[in-house]
Amino acid sequence: MKKLNLLTGCFLLLTLLGCQQAPEQPNVIFILADDLGWKDLACFGSDYYETPNFDALAASGIKFTNAYSASPLCSPTRASILTGLEPGRLRFTTPSGHSVRVVLDPQESNRSAPHYKAGTPATRTRLPNEYLTFAEVLKEQGYATAFMGKWHLGREPYIPENQGFDVVVGGREHS
């Protein structure tokens, strides 16, 4: 009788556990702003600017308080954030997404003058579509993704839609 009660209890417990709803996925909003100082928002200590909408988002979400940009330049920073790789590993070290010249596999250094001892490392001008981005990872987990604003990582075919974003608003004038 004890075994029957134990089996019945286990069966009911497993049935109840199986009927639970899957936990709801949290919403993710990631904001990257060019030329935003570390204390320009009120939620980070500014008493000059009033930023009530950012303050509300920060109060109910997560604030990055111990982070730094991978690069002081726009294109390498965006590529680094999207892929999780350092700009040097990506070989994407200059703001070159707007460049007409497409370079995906830079090989040599650029010497600007014969008397310079060191050259500037050759750099990509686009983020190749082969790199896995956080948008693609989020899509695999059932998220809908959107990109709004300045892309600066290349024109067709190196566009946000080919890097995991479902919806794209703006950004074409700064490809």
Tell me the catalytic residues: 74, 152
> In 3D, which of 164, 101, 107 has the Cα closest to residue 130?
164
Structure tokens at 92: 């994407």
Alpha-carbon distance of 74 to 161, in angstroms, equals 19
**Distance, C-alpha 93 to centroid of its chain:** 17
The CB-based long-range contact list for 138-142 (8 Å cut-off, 24+ gap) reads 138/28, 138/164, 139/164, 139/166, 141/25, 142/25
Whether the CB-CB separation of 96 and 75 falls below 8 Å is answered with yes
